[in-house]
Amino acid sequence: MKEFIEFIAKHLVDSPEEVIVEETLFEDRKFTLTLRVKKDDVGKVIGKKGRTALSMRTLLTAIAAKEGKRATLDILD
C-alpha cells in the first residue's frame, strides 16, 4: 500500500525525488500513511477541491479493506 501511494504521488508532482511516504501502525489492523511532498507540489497532490486526495484515500481504503485492515492518508508539505 505504501508503494502504491508513493507511485501515484510521484507521477503527480514536479519533484518526484522529494516524495516520502511513512507508515505508522496503531493497532494490528489500523495504520496511517503520511505523504510528504515539496511545498510547491502540495496543490497537485490535493487537486481541485481535494478531489485527487479524496481519490487516493478512497483507493487506499479499498486496498486496505481487501486485506482486512483500516488505513488513513495524511498529506503534509
Q: Is the pTM of this model over 0.85?
A: yes
16-62, pLDDT tens digit by residue?
Answer: 999 999 999 987 889 999 999 999 999 999 999 999 999 999 999 99
Give residue 62's pLDDT. 95
Specify the length of the chain in residues.
Answer: 77
Which domains can be identified in the chain, with CATH numbers? 2-76 (3.30.300.20)
DSSP 24-49: EEEETTEEEEEEE--GGGHHHHH-GG
Given this model, what pLDDT does residue 77 score?
77
Residue 72's pLDDT is 95
Residue that is written with C-alpha cell 510521484 in the block: 10
pLDDT score for 47: 95
Q: Tell me what pLDDT residue 28 has.
A: 82
Which residues make Cβ contacts (< 8 Å) with residue 64, sequence separation at least 6? 1, 31, 70, 71
Classify 9 as helix, strand or coil.
helix
